[in-house]
Each structure stands twice: as structure tokens, then as C-alpha cells.
Amino acid sequence: MTLQTLLIVLLAFALITLASERIGYYFRLLNLPLISGFLFTGVLAGPYLLGLIQIEQTEQLRFLDDVALGVIAFAAGSEFYLSELRGRLRSIAWITLTNTIFIPIIGAVSLYLLADFIPFMQDLSPASRLAAALVAGAILVARSPSSAIAIVNELRAKGPFTQMTLGVTMLTDVLVIILFAVMSFVADALIHNVALSLGFIGLLLAELGVSIIVGYGLGQLLHLLLRTHMNGWLKRGLVIIAGYAIFVLADYVRDASHLYLPFEFFLEPLLICMIGSFVITNYTGYRAEFMQIVHDIGPPIYVIFFTLTGASLSLDVLANTWQIAAILFGIRLVAIFIGSYSGGLIAGDPAAYNRLSWMTFVTQAGVGLGLAKEAAIEFPEWGAAFATMIISVIVVSQLVGPPLFKMAISRVGEARPRGQTPEFDGERDAIIFGLEDQSLALARLLKSHGWGVKIASRTINEWRGVNDNNRDIDIVAIPGLTLEAFKLLQAEQADAIIAMLSNEENYQICELAYEHYGTEHLVVRLTEREEYERFQELGAIIVDPSIATVNLLDLFVRSPLATSILLDMVENQAVRDLQVRNRHIGGLALRELRLPLDVLVLSLRRGNSTLVSHGYTRLELGDSITVVGSPESLEQVTLQIEG
């Protein structure tokens, strides 16, 4: 293949990848995993449907698989952080051990017994059938830490069950690579009729030992790379190259040993990359930077990998094996239940945990798909058909797993999702926590714009003194920052809650409002910048007094008119955020609203995305619109949009 041909193939695939990234986004809107969209795009563009990618082109692009597999192994190793696993180490160790025993055995035995019903296995020798079954059993152990972490973050789950679940998921995803390496060595020996002897066991141990040593060396090399003061993008590129170089090295060692030695010496590249990542994560001070690099390079790499995986799927094989894939998925569920229940029983976990823990271990994604693709490369005689069958099991697991995970976390009572936001009652209400000059001034300003405002104070003496001089402000004495206090304040009616106390107290306020009332707007005056992250997880709007004045002065210098309008400093001009609640305008385009001539739409926000609005943008219920105009016109628009 010429360089020109390769560049043309890469350019065509790059365009398909861009489309895949967008299609994955739409799958996410349907509450489906991103990778499902990427796989779907690959299948659609592949040789069996649109034919935009031919079979020979998937072979030409195989080096991209190696690049992606290196990154996937780095991600798996970085998730195994010893300090985070010590809390429930007994449960984590036992459940991981029993799952790693039962799932491969049950999976391998089942697949071997089903071999006569699987087209690509029917013509294989008994040894090759056993080899395929052993490799499949290993891959069925794989988990999806990224899916688990995403669900835990979504539910804001905390507690011993959640900690155990994450620990088992991360540890299993590390052990599965080691298990796959061992099973691959054994499968290779079975296929080539290498007798099980002391020599074979010695070779297997030598291959594992050398892989571990090379992995440690890779970790030290990455450590040196991270210590250098170079451009961030250059570091990311070198990390990707380092992962790919390991696959090139493994191929070279295998080919060279085949030529010059009486046996093949195989290094497991996934194991090497994972160990290198493990070393960086646990034994250097660069864990955070390395995880950030893996996080940054992950999304584009995953789009490429899963799209190419979809294009490589043999749909003709899938058509003949989907029933087997469904049976294999069911067998995997049974094996997970047996392994998880028995492990929890040995560890002495509560009965409720043992009954539900299996539901959190169903998801599969990156590592499982990576191992399936690796098997396709290592065993070319039956690997492609084998990978197609296993990938179909993984896709079903990724679709079924997240709902089961959420159900288990909710049943043990460790889910802390956002509460149901109450429907708009026609009046805008705000609660301000903290009694001081700024909160009083803010209350008066909000009241001047038609808001109903309450100030919550825990100091009764202070409340009595201030209330005498501020009878126009509703100041409420509360016993503490508790749910009872929120009920006293009628927080279920609040459209906004403003926290102006210490950071810890502010977080307590935001957490109660988030979990029990789903308050639409949480505004926090921050006292320490280090606290940004945990407030952002609650969707709070953060005001940092230390930089607010500087930013305001900067805006006045660069855009004085716009800033003046935003601060209500321009006569007869104001800015207002409105939410589309009027069902009669849902589906209408902006140009069909007949807004007053002095009203301008500045922006439109839908979900977590800000849209570039124009006359043909169609409104949906729940959209947030920012408009500017005269106060009289804004009142008219408010009635029109919010109903």
C-alpha cells in the first residue's frame, strides 16, 4: 500500500469519524451509551451496508486499533488506585476473586458445549474449540469502570455498597487483562499442539515475567516524560506513541522469536501498558497529570476505535450467531450472580448487598471490546467471527447494565439524585441564607424586579434587631440548616436559593436544596476557590468575591454598554432569563413569536447546551431564553413565553 493510498483512506475514515462523534451525541440524548452510537456508525459505514469502508481498508487501518488499545490499557491501569480500595478491601478482594473464578469457568464450559451450534466453531478441532472458549471466558469477566463512575456521579451515590462496587469494578478490569494474557498463552499452545509440560509452564511464566518488567520500564519512561517541562499537546502525543510502540515491540519480538528460536515468545502489550499506568498512578507524584492526559486523549481515541470496531463487525456472522450471543449474555448474568453472591457471603456482607451486587457488574465497554479486537488479531483463523459474537454480548451488556446498576444503588439507599424541580407557580421566589448588608441589598434589588424574597437567619437576637429597621424585607428565623428549616421557609416554592455563609454551610444548603427540591438556581458566594469542584457537581452558580470586582472592571473596559445593560445601569433597558412554559408556543420558531420591536433574544439554552439562536430556531418546553428590552416589553414577553 502506497503512502498516498493510506492518506486517502485515513482522510475518508476521518470524515466518517466526525459523523460518528455527532451520531454518538444523538444516542446520548436518547439515554443510550455513546459507544452504541459509534458502533452503529461503523456498522452503517462498513462493508455490509453503505460500503464506505471496505474489508481491505479495515485491515489497512488496523494500526489505529493498536493506538487505541494502548490508551484503553493506560485508562484501565490509572483507575486502579490502591489508596481508594482500602476502605472495604475484604469485600472487594473476595467478590473480585470469586467473579474471576466463576465467570471464566462457567463461560468457557458453556461456550465449549455450544460449539456445535456456532457456525465458525463447527469446523474447529477440539483443541481450537477449547482455546476459543477459554479466551471468551476471560473476556466475559471485563467490566466498564467509566460507566460505573458515570452512574455513581449521576446519582451522587455514597456509602459502603457504592465503594465496594467501584473497587470490584476497577480491580476486575485490571485482573481481566492478566487473565486474558494467561488464557491467550494457553490458547496459543492448544492451537499449536504444545504439550502441557514444565517447559511450557516455564515459558508462560517467563512471558508474564518479561511483560511485567517491560511494563515497569514503561512506567519509568512515562515518569520521565511527565517530569519534563514541555507543551501539553506534545506530552499527550508522546503518551499515545509510547502505547503504540509497545504493540510494535510485541509484534517484533514474536516475529523474531519465530524466526530465530524454536518457540514463539509473546509479550502481552495490554498488560505492559496497564502495568506502566499502574506504576505512574500509585508510585509517582504524577497521578493527577497522567489521568488528565488520559482523560483528554480518550474521547477522540474512543470515537476512532469504536467506529472502526463497528466497521469490522462481520454482520453475516452476527446474523448466524445472535441467538448464541443472547444465550451467552444470559449465562454471563448467572455467572456474575453466583460469583458476586458467594464472594459477598464469604466476606460477611449484608444479605441485601449480596442479593443486589451482581446488578452493578453487568456493564462492559472499552477493555472488553479491546480484548475482543486483540483476540481477532492474535487468532486470525477464527478471531474475526469470534470478536463479532463477543462484541454483540458486550453491546447488550452495555445497554442493559446501566439501568440495573441504578436500580441496585437506589435499592440499597445510597443514591442521592437531584430532587424533582417543582412546576412554576407564576411567581418568582428566592431564599437568601445569611443576614448582612449584602443580603439585604440583594433582597431589595430582587424585590424591585418583582421577586418574592426571604432572608433566613439563625441568630434570633440579630433577626429581631434588623427586622425593626427592615420591615419591607421578610426575615425568617431558622433553628439550623436542616430539612425542617427548609420546610419552614417553604423552599419547595423557591426558584432560586442564594447561599452567603461559610463554604461548608453553603454546601450543606446546596445539597439539601439539590436532593430534596431540585431547586432550579443555586447561587453560592464562595470564600475559598479550592471548593469550586464540589459546588459545580451540584450545578451551582459560583460567585468568587476575590475576582468578581476585577472581572467586572474588565468587562466595563472591554464592553461598557453590554455590561451596563446587564447591571441594569441603562435607563429603560433590562435583561431577563425566561423559561418556555407556555405549551401554546412549544414548537414555534422564534420568528413566529411576534416579540415587541425593542426586545432582542440574546441566547437560548437547551439542557446543557447553549444554541446559536436565529429566526428559524424552534422552541421546546423547558428552553431558557435570555432577552433584553424595556421593562414594559419584558413583562409582555414574560407572559407570552412563561404563560
What pLDDT sits at residue 194?
65
- The residue-averaged pLDDT of 582-608 equals 79
Which residues touch 288 (CB under 8 Å, ≥6 apart)?
Answer: none
In the chain, % of residues over pLDDT 70: 88
Contact of 519 with 491, CB cutoff 8 Å: yes
Instruction: Write the DSSP string, 546-592.
Output: HHHHHHHHHHHHH-HHHHHHHTT-STT-EEEEEE---TTTTT-BGGG
What pLDDT sits at residue 338?
92
What pLDDT sits at residue 509?
85
DSSP state of 348: T
Tens-digit pLDDT profile for residues 346-356: 988 888 888 88
Report field, pTM of the whole predicted structure over 0.75? no
**Any idea of the CA torsion for 157, 540, 630, 628, to the nearest 10 degrees?**
-80
Least confident residue range of 179-183, 556-560, 564-568, 577-581? 564-568
- Residue entry with cell 500500500: 1
SS3 131: helix
The three cell numbers locating residue 440: 439585604
Using the predicted structure, report yes or no on whether residue 107 has a pLDDT greater than 80: yes
Highest mean pLDDT among 111-115, 366-370, 630-634: 111-115
Highest mean pLDDT among 59-73, 247-261, 462-476: 247-261
Report the C-alpha gap between 188 and 179 in whole angstroms: 14
Least confident residue range of 15-19, 357-361, 605-609? 605-609
Which residues touch 557 (CB under 8 Å, ≥6 apart)?
Answer: none
Contact of 421 with 519, CB cutoff 8 Å: yes
Give Cα 304 to chain centroid, integer Å. Answer: 17
Residue-level length of the chain? 643
Report the C-alpha gap between 185 and 129 in whole angstroms: 15
- Residue entry with cell 451540584: 538
∠ Cα 510 515 516 (to 5°) = 105
pLDDT higher for 546 or 279? 279
What pLDDT sits at residue 488?
83
What pLDDT sits at residue 120?
82
pLDDT higher for 237 or 232? 237
What pLDDT sits at residue 337?
92
Q: How confident is the model at residue 369 (pLDDT cuts 50, 70, 90)?
A: confident
- The residue-averaged pLDDT of 337-341 equals 91
| Per-chain mean pLDDT for the chain | 80
Using the predicted structure, report yes or no on whether residue 444 has a pLDDT greater than 60: yes
Highest mean pLDDT among 104-108, 310-314, 492-496, 630-634: 104-108
Least confident residue range of 72-81, 344-353, 427-436, 499-508? 72-81
- The residue-averaged pLDDT of 67-74 equals 82
What pLDDT sits at residue 105?
92
Sign of the torsion angle spanned by Cα atoms 540, 491, 485, 487? negative
Q: How confident is the model at residue 211 (pLDDT cuts 50, 70, 90)?
A: confident
Using the predicted structure, report yes or no on whether residue 312 has a pLDDT greater than 80: no
Contact of 293 with 71, CB cutoff 8 Å: no
Q: How confident is the model at residue 467 (pLDDT cuts 50, 70, 90)?
A: low
Using the predicted structure, report yes or no on whether residue 101 has a pLDDT greater than 60: yes
pLDDT higher for 280 or 559? 280
Using the predicted structure, report yes or no on whether residue 624 has a pLDDT greater than 80: yes
Instruction: Write the DSSP string, 236-283.
Output: HHHHHHHHHHHHHHHHHHHHHHHHHSSS-----HHHHHHHHHHHHHHH
Contact of 19 with 44, CB cutoff 8 Å: no
What pLDDT sits at residue 198?
65
- Residue entry with cell 487501518: 61
What pLDDT sits at residue 106?
92
Least confident residue range of 157-171, 196-210, 342-356? 196-210
Contacts 24+ apart (CB under 8 A), 334-340: 334/106, 335/102, 335/103, 335/106, 335/107, 335/140, 336/99, 336/103, 336/361, 336/362, 338/98, 338/102, 338/106, 339/95, 339/98, 339/99, 339/100, 339/101, 339/102, 339/103, 340/95, 340/98, 340/99
Highest mean pLDDT among 142-156, 436-450, 567-581: 436-450
Highest mean pLDDT among 101-110, 225-234, 624-633: 101-110
Highest mean pLDDT among 225-234, 243-252, 439-448, 480-489: 243-252
Using the predicted structure, report yes or no on whether residue 465 has a pLDDT greater than 60: no
What pLDDT sits at residue 86?
63
Report the C-alpha gap between 136 and 391 in whole angstroms: 11
What pLDDT sits at residue 58?
76
What pLDDT sits at residue 582?
80
Report the C-alpha gap between 421 and 423 in whole angstroms: 7
Residue 193 region by backbone torsions, left for phi larger than 0, else alpha for psi between -120 and 50, else beta: left
What pLDDT sits at residue 333?
92
In the chain, % of residues over pLDDT 90: 3
Using the predicted structure, report yes or no on whether residue 149 has a pLDDT greater than 70: no
Q: How confident is the model at residue 361 (pLDDT cuts 50, 70, 90)?
A: confident
What pLDDT sits at residue 197?
60
